[in-house]
């Protein structure tokens, strides 16, 4: 996850600090406070995603984005952040070329879910995921402070067992196009995997949840297959990883 880098462009100091805290849990980041600094920083380093405050003095977020879009690497990889929350406003930003729109004040959980989905949607799936993305070592280290290795392994075994039960229901729901069950079960997988640092499953289930909500059945079918594949990768990782078998 830390291989992905985000540029935070936010005028408000408190809001910028909040974004830094949230983004830093999963991704590397740089942060600037205005459009001029954003253009300068982006000209010197490539970022996988840019979070752009729209209401900035001097050079607003739209003007800044237009400059960055002249550099092809950044086209459609900028998320607009604004206190304007009407659906028509979101459509306007998307038509301009923004990757997505997030209304402020943000909801931290949804904020991270959107960003995680964007940063994995173009990676080509689990073939690009490294070991630390399969399982977050920092989460494991926190668990280790209060639990034995046997207890931790049991937690991950329970995670995999519940995943299998939920996925069986998801397969049935997918055939019936039962959107409510799909969203509910994917939400549970997303929450469980996020809690235990199973990052790849968290990201893929976030993406699948989004597809279920918009009824993109073809993409959802592919996403579910990726989830099943990553489940096997996680199980193999837990069995073979020396952290669990010192």
Do residues 119 and 125 touch, judged by C-beta distance below 8 A? no
Phi and psi at residue 81, in whole multiples of 5°? Answer: -120, 125
Q: Where are the domains of the chain?
A: 5-122, 128-240
Residue 181: which pLDDT band, with cuts at 50, 70 and 90? very high
Cβ count near 11 (within 10 Å)? 18
SS3 string, 154-184, reads HHHHHHHHHHHHHHHHHHHHHHHCCHHHHHH
Q: What are the pLDDT digits (tens) for 117-151? A: 888 754 333 333 444 578 877 777 777 777 788 88
Distance CA 29, CA 10 (A): 13
Domain 128-240: give its CATH code.
Answer: 1.20.120.160
pLDDT in tens, 191-226: 888 888 888 898 889 888 888 887 889 989 999 999
3-state helix, strand, coil in the chain (%, to 5): 65, 10, 25
Q: pLDDT value at position 38?
A: 96
Tell me the H-state helices in 70-147. Answer: 87-96, 108-120, 131-134, 137-144
pTM for this prediction: 0.51
Which residues on adjacent β-strands are paired with residue 82? 103
CATH class label, 5-122:
alpha beta
């Amino acid at each position: 996850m830390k291989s992905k880098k985000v540029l935070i462009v936010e005028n408000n100091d408190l809001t910028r600090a909040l974004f830094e805290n949230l983004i830093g849990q999963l991704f590397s980041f740089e942060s600037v406070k205005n459009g001029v600094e954003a253009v300068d920083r982006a000209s010197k380093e490539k970022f996988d995603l840019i979070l752009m405050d729209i209401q900035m003095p001097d050079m607003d977020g739209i003007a800044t984005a237009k400059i960055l879009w002249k550099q092809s690497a950044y086209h459609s990889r900028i998320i607009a952040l604004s206190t304007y929350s009407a659906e028509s406003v979101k459509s306007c930003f998307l038509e301009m070329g923004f990757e997505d729109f997030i209304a402020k004040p943000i909801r931290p959980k949804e904020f991270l879910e959107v960003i995680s989905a964007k940063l994995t949607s173009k990676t080509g799936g689990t073939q690009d995921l490294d070991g630390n993305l399969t399982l977050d070592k920092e989460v494991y280290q926190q668990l280790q402070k209060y639990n034995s290795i046997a207890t931790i392994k049991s937690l991950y075994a329970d995670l995999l067992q519940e995943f299998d039960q939920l996925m069986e229901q998801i397969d049935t729901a997918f055939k019936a196009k039962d959107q409510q069950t799909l969203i509910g079960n994917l939400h549970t997988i997303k929450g469980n995997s996020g809690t235990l640092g199973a990052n790849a499953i968290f990201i893929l289930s976030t993406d699948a949840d989004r597809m279920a909500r918009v009824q993109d059945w073809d993409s959802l079918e592919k996403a579910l297959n990726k989830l099943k594949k990553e489940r096997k990768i996680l199980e193999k990782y837990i069995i073979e990883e020396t952290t669990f078998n010192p």
